[in-house]
C-alpha cells in the first residue's frame, strides 16, 4: 500500500476508492486490538494525539472488535477526579532498568460515554509527579528514553498477565516507540504476541535531547542478540527512535502535521504500508481505520 492522504476535504470518489483498496487487500478481520498510546482524552488536555488516543480505540470497539488501551500515568492526571484505582492483582512487579528495581503499578479508569476502559502504567521514579516530555519549567527530561523502556515493558508484562492475545498492536507517540522492538524480540515467543502485527504512529511532540549514555545498556532485555541498535548512534535522537520503532513495525499510520519526510521515506524503504495523514473527525474515518487494521492483519493470510 502506498502513501495515501486522507483528510476532511477529501472527495467522496477518492474516499470510496481508498476504502475499496483497503477492503480488497484484507482477507481476515482483526478481532482484538491493543493500544499503547501516549495520551488519551479526557485524562490529559486536548491535543491531536490525545484525541487519536480517545477516538481510534472507540472506532475499533464500535465495529465489534475487542480492545485494551494503555497510557502512562502522567503526573498531571488527577486520580480522584478521573476515578483511577489500582489493580492490585496486576501491580507489584519489579522491572530492572539501569540495575535498579522499579515497581510497576497498574491503575484503571473508565470513559463511560465511550464504554471504554483505560489502563495506566505508573511508577514513582518515572511518572509520579512528572509531566510528559518536559518538566514545569519546560526542561526536557533527560531520561525520557528510560521512561519509554519502562512503559513498554510495563504494558507488555501486564498483557501477558491478562493472557490476552491481540491481533493488531497500535503504538502511538514517542513514549510507545520501544514497544515494537520488545514485541518482536524479547516477547516474540510469548503466546500473547507471537502473531501480533504492529502499526506505529509518530506524534505527541518531538524529543530534542538524545537518549542517555546508559540507554543502550538499559534497553537490553531477554531475547535480544545485541544487533538491535546496529547502525544507530551511541545516543539516539528522536528520529532514531522513530526509525527503531519502524524496524519492528508492520505499518505506519500518520496524523495530520506529522508527515515527517524522513520517517515516511524510511517506512517506504522498508516496504511498509503508509496510511494517512487523516482527520479522525472526517466522514468515514472510523471505517477507514478499521479497514486499514484489517488489511495489515490480513496481509499474506488465507481468508477464513
User: How do residues 159-218 score in pLDDT, each as one tens digit?
Assistant: 999 999 999 999 999 999 999 999 999 999 999 999 999 999 999 999 999 999 999 999
Alpha carbons 49 and 15: distance in angstroms, whole number: 23
For residue 140, pLDDT over 80 is answered with: yes
What pairs with residue 169 in β-bridges?
A: 34, 198
Helix (DSSP H) and strand (DSSP E) numbers for the chain: 9, 11
- Report the domain count for the chain: 1
| Residue 3 counted as domain residue | no
Where in the sequence is the domain holding 31, given as residue range(s)? 12-298
Please state which of the ranges 26-30, 105-109, 211-215 shows the lowest mean pLDDT.
26-30
Q: In terms of pLDDT, which residue wins out, 23 or 162?
A: 162
Alpha carbons 150 and 99: distance in angstroms, whole number: 13
Alpha carbons 175 and 152: distance in angstroms, whole number: 8
**Residue ranges of E strands in the chain:** 32-36, 66-72, 85-86, 94-97, 100-103, 105-111, 116-122, 168-172, 197-201, 251-253, 274-275
Instruction: Please measure the distance between the N-terminal and C-terminal CA atoms of the chain and give it in whole angstroms.
Output: 22
For residue 20, pLDDT over 50 is answered with: no
Neighbours of 99 (CB within 10 A): 8
| Residue 16 counted as domain residue | yes
What CATH number is attached to the domain comprising 43? 3.40.50.2000
Alpha carbons 69 and 291: distance in angstroms, whole number: 19
Give me the pLDDT at residue 300, please. 80
Under the banding of pLDDT at 50, 70 and 90, the label for residue 24 is very low
| Residue 1 counted as domain residue | no
| Residue 303 counted as domain residue | no
Give me the pLDDT at residue 226, please. 86
| Residue 101 counted as domain residue | yes
What pairs with residue 85 in β-bridges?
A: 108
| Residue 95 counted as domain residue | yes
For residue 6, pLDDT over 90 is answered with: no
| Residue 2 counted as domain residue | no
Residue % of the chain over a pLDDT of 70: 90
| Whole-number CA gyration radius for the chain | 18
User: Could you tell me if 122 and 196 are in contact, meaning their C-beta atoms sit under 8 angstroms apart?
Assistant: no
| Residue 275 counted as domain residue | yes
Q: What is the pTM of this model?
A: 0.91
Grid coordinates given for 50: 490525545
Amino acid at each position: 500500500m502506498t502513501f495515501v492522504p486522507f483528510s476532511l476535504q477529501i472527495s467522496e470518489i477518492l474516499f470510496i476508492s481508498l476504502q475499496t483498496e483497503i477492503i480488497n487487500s484484507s482477507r481476515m478481520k482483526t478481532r482484538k486490538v491493543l493500544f499503547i498510546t501516549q495520551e488519551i482524552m479526557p485524562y490529559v488536555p486536548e491535543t491531536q494525539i490525545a484525541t487519536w488516543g480517545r477516538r481510534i480505540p472507540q472506532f475499533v470497539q464500535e465495529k465489534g472488535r475487542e480492545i485494551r488501551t494503555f497510557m502512562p500515568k502522567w503526573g498531571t492526571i488527577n486520580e480522584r477526579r478521573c476515578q483511577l484505582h489500582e489493580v492490585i492483582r496486576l501491580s507489584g512487579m519489579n522491572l530492572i532498568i539501569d540495575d535498579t528495581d522499579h515497581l510497576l503499578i497498574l491503575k484503571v479508569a473508565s470513559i463511560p460515554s465511550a464504554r471504554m476502559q483505560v489502563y495506566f502504567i505508573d511508577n514513582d521514579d518515572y511518572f509520579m509527579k512528572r509531566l510528559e516530555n518536559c518538566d514545569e519549567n519546560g526542561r526536557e527530561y533527560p531520561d525520557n528514553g528510560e521512561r519509554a523502556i519502562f512503559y513498554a515493558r510495563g504494558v507488555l508484562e501486564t498483557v501477558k498477565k491478562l493472557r490476552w492475545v491481540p491481533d493488531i498492536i497500535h503504538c502511538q507517540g514517542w513514549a510507545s516507540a520501544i514497544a515494537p522492538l520488545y514485541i518482536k524480540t524479547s516477547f516474540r515467543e510469548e503466546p500473547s504476541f507471537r502473531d501480533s502485527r504492529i502499526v506505529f504512529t509518530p506524534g505527541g511532540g518531538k524529543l530534542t535531547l538524545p537518549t542517555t549514555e546508559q540507554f543502550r545498556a538499559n534497553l537490553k532485555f531477554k531475547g535480544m542478540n545485541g544487533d538491535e541498535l546496529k547502525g544507530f548512534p551511541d545516543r539516539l535522537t528522536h528520529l532514531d527512535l522513530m526509525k527503531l520503532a519502524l524496524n519492528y513495525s508492520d505499518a505506519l499510520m500518520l496524523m495530520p502535521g506529522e508527515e515527517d519526510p524522513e520517517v515516511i521515506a524510511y517506512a517506504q524503504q522498508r516496504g511498509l504500508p503508509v496510511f494517512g495523514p487523516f482527520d479522525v473527525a472526517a466522514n468515514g474515518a472510523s471505517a477507514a481505520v478499521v479497514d486499514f487494521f484489517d488489511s495489515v492483519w490480513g496481509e499474506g493470510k488465507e481468508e477464513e
